[in-house]
Every structure is written in structure tokens, then in C-alpha cells.
Amino acid sequence: MSEIPPQGLRWLPAIDKLLRTPQAEELIRVYGRESLRDALRESLDAARDQIRAGTPAPDASSLLAAAETRLRSQFAPTLRPVINATGVILHTNLGRAPLSAQAQAAIVTAAAHYSTLEYQLEPGKRGKRDQHAESLLKLITGAAGALVVNNNAAAVTLILAALAKDQQVLISRGQLVEIGGGFRMPDVMHQSGAIMVEVGTTNKTRLEDFARAITPQSALILRVHTSNFKQIGFTEQPELAKLTALAHERALVAADDLGSGALLDTAAFGLDHEPTVQESLQAGCDLVAFSGDKLLGGPQAGIVVGRADLIEKLKRHPLARAFRIDKLSLAGLTATLDHYRRGEALSHIPIWQMISAPAKVLQQRAVAWQSQVGGQVVQSFSTVGGGSLPGESLPTYALSLRSDSAESLSAALRRAPMPVISRIAEDQVLLDPRTVLLDQESTLVEMLRLVLG
């Protein structure tokens, strides 16, 4: 064992003495006395190990500095803002849709004040939180009823539990999807209490397959839009209008799990046509379920629109309480829906601003970055992401940065004070202006300068 230096363990100050120093007073003000005490204990333990290894004992200032470093790391939030320069518009790992300024303000207002969440001002009586988004959804989609819950998986589970518990639900084998996080439609079906009946084959399901599968125990036909993958080649699915007509002919409910929830036509922006909520209703669907934070462009939510009598059944089911949306998400959602009512979705909702951004404008932004930090402007592509329009891309221009290691540079950007999330292609780090918010551009340039030196 190595001999402990003369400036050994006995020279380490006591924790109580360290806590009485002016340096400690400021740390106590920021982090609290008990948190500082714990950090100092860890710093002293580390110092003892270093002394035993032959390192001189640190002074009080060094111990407090080490404790501050620990506290700064411990107290740093794990949910942090980042700059999304990947070109993936609905990036699930980065929180999907950023909200409009109006939606952000509505959330802040709802958080800072008491509100009429479940209160009616005129009669001075209790109200229902459903009322705030329901009228907007009915107006925008043309549905007779609407309900909002906390996400689309909850919306589908509620439909199945309320309308088909212990009864058969028919679904095409080609639509037994797995959504993010490993959750699969058969599992959702099982948890709801419905009995899943697989119809047709993986690649081909015809209307007559559904007709043959219907029994007296059947309650519902479910169409699941395969929004996170694409089948090509020798495939077939029945038209939605014909499927709903069959359901109604046999006195079954026709429900559509639409997923991404587009209210605008994506084909207008050079993408494939994503089925819209309005089209599903026009095809005769009794209920349509979709997300709030995908192509709708709002906060996380699950939305169900359709027949008023069925919506009322969903509202009365016990799971409606378990799945209900919170007041902050509801405030953001109603503000987002208001953009659609006013016909201003393209000009106010960030994801639609990104989708509709002209390539020439994106090129100009990339050139402006290049003039400040170097690199090369290259043609590239952006994607919608978020389980929407798989395989579809939008032309863009990106700033390309080369280094000895693209992985190392990308990692350095992620470690910046404001993390920058990039994309790597052909040993280049690409930064796509399509997904960089305008108010983050100056910060992006600052981070690039910091990392690139």
C-alpha cells in the first residue's frame, strides 16, 4: 500500500466547517443545505481516495468547487429544449409537434390561473371539460360529436372497451400494426376486453373476407391506417366507404383508427395524400380516432369524432375518467384547433409552416448559416416522421459540415449548452433549416461557432 502523503487525510476540513464558508452560503441559497451537505460528502470521499493514491489533499475551495459541479449535474433538468436540425418534422424522440405561439400562451395562461375547466360562468354551476374542444372539433370536421382523451392509443382502447367488450372486433391482418415503444394492436385489443378477429391475409384483404367473418357475436369493424409503414406490390384493402356500408348493413359499428389526424391535404405540398379526418367521416365511419400531436400540430392528445350517441357512450365509460386530458394539453389543443377554424393553420402552426416551406427559402437560410460558420450547402431531403407518410420526403437544402469524424462532431453538437441534433449522411453532418425554428437560428449559429472553434 502506498504511503499517505504528509498532507494527508487529517488535513481534509470537516463538512460543518465547509458549510460555514461564504462560498457555501451561495450554494446553499441555490441548491439547499442538505443537497450541498450530500455533495460535499461525496467530494470528501473522492478526495480521500485520491489522497490514498498519492495525490495531495485539496483545499476547501477545491472541495466546494467539486461539490458545485456535482450539484449542477444533479439539478440539471433531463427534459431540455434542443434545436432539431435533423429535417424530421414530427420527430417522436424530440417531442413531435412544436406548438404555435398562441398555443404556448394558452398553456401558460391555464397554468398560471384558475380557469373554467369544469365550470359554467352563466349559471355558476359545474361544467364538463369536454365542452372546450368539442364545439371546435365538430365545426372543423363536421362530426356530430367529439371527445378528447390523453392520446390516440387511449382513444382506441376506449372505443373498444365501451362498444365491443367481450364481443368480436374485425380487423385486417395487414393492419395489425405495432406503434412506438413496442405496443401492438393485438395487445391493445386484448386489454380493452374485445375479442380480435383477424380477417384476410397480411397483404390482401377483400370486402368478402369481412362479410364471411361477421357472426352474431361481432360488434365492430376496425380499420387501422398503417401510418408508420407502407405496403407495396401485391396488396389489397377494401375501400373504406364499402367497408362502412357493410358494417351498417350488418348493424355493426365502423371505426377508423386514423393515427396521424391530418385535417389538411398533404398532397398540396408534394407529398402523398394522407387520409384526412373529414374523408373518413364522409366515407361513413361512425367513429374516427386520431392524434393531436402529429399532423394536427398540437399537444399530445387522443381525439374521437363521430356519431353523437356513440360519443356519449364513450364519455360515460369509466375509462374516460382514467384517460381524460389534462388542462394544459386541453388549452394548447383548443388554441391549435382555433387556427384551423380561422383558416390560418399554414401561417401559424409550426409543422405546417415547415411542410409548406419552399426549397428556395430553405436554401437562403442554409447559405446564411454557411456565411457565418463555413461548411457547404447541399441538396438533401426532409421527412414528415412521427408515424406519418412513411417513405415520403420533401426536397430541402442543408448545411454540410465535414470533420475527421462525423460521429464525434455530431456528439459535440449534442453536448453544446443548447444541444443541436443533426443528421449524418455519407460521413457528413447535415443541418436542415426546415426543422430549425426561426427564433433558434441565432442560437444555432452561436452553438456551431462554439463547437467548431
Residues of the chain with pLDDT below 50 are 1-4, 6
Q: How far apart are CA 296 and CA 289, in angstroms?
A: 12
What is residue 396's three-state secondary structure? strand
- pLDDT tens digits for range 163-218: 999 999 999 988 887 766 566 777 888 888 999 999 988 788 899 999 999 999 99
What is residue 381's three-state secondary structure? strand
- For residue 297, the model assigns a pLDDT of 97
Residues linked to residue 255 through DSSP beta bridges, in sequence order: 222, 287
* Short-list 322, 326, 330, 325, CA closest to 192: 322
- pLDDT tens digits for range 38-50: 999 999 999 998 8
Q: 287, 304 in Cβ contact below 8 A?
A: yes
* Short-list 198, 204, 196, 285, CA closest to 245: 285
* Short-list 121, 62, 84, CA closest to 382: 84
Q: Which amino acid is at 145?
A: G
- For residue 385, the model assigns a pLDDT of 87
Q: How far apart are CA 320 and CA 30, in angstroms?
A: 42
- For residue 69, the model assigns a pLDDT of 95
Look at the block and give the residue holding cell 371527445.
Answer: 147
Give, as one character, the DSSP assignment of residue 435. Answer: G
* Short-list 302, 347, 336, 326, CA closest to 103: 336
Kindly report the number of other CB atoms within 10 A of residue 426's CB atom.
9
Q: 102, 341 in Cβ contact below 8 A?
A: no
Written as nine digits, the cell of 435 is: 426543422
Q: How far apart are CA 49 and CA 55, in angstroms?
A: 9
- For residue 179, the model assigns a pLDDT of 66
- For residue 4, the model assigns a pLDDT of 44
* Short-list 359, 381, 373, 380, CA closest to 402: 373
* Short-list 345, 344, 341, CA closest to 297: 345
Q: 294, 260 in Cβ contact below 8 A?
A: yes
pTM over the 0.85 mark: yes
- For residue 221, the model assigns a pLDDT of 96
Q: 146, 138 in Cβ contact below 8 A?
A: yes
Written as nine digits, the cell of 151 is: 392520446
- For residue 180, the model assigns a pLDDT of 61
Phi, psi of 212 (to 5 degrees): -70, -25
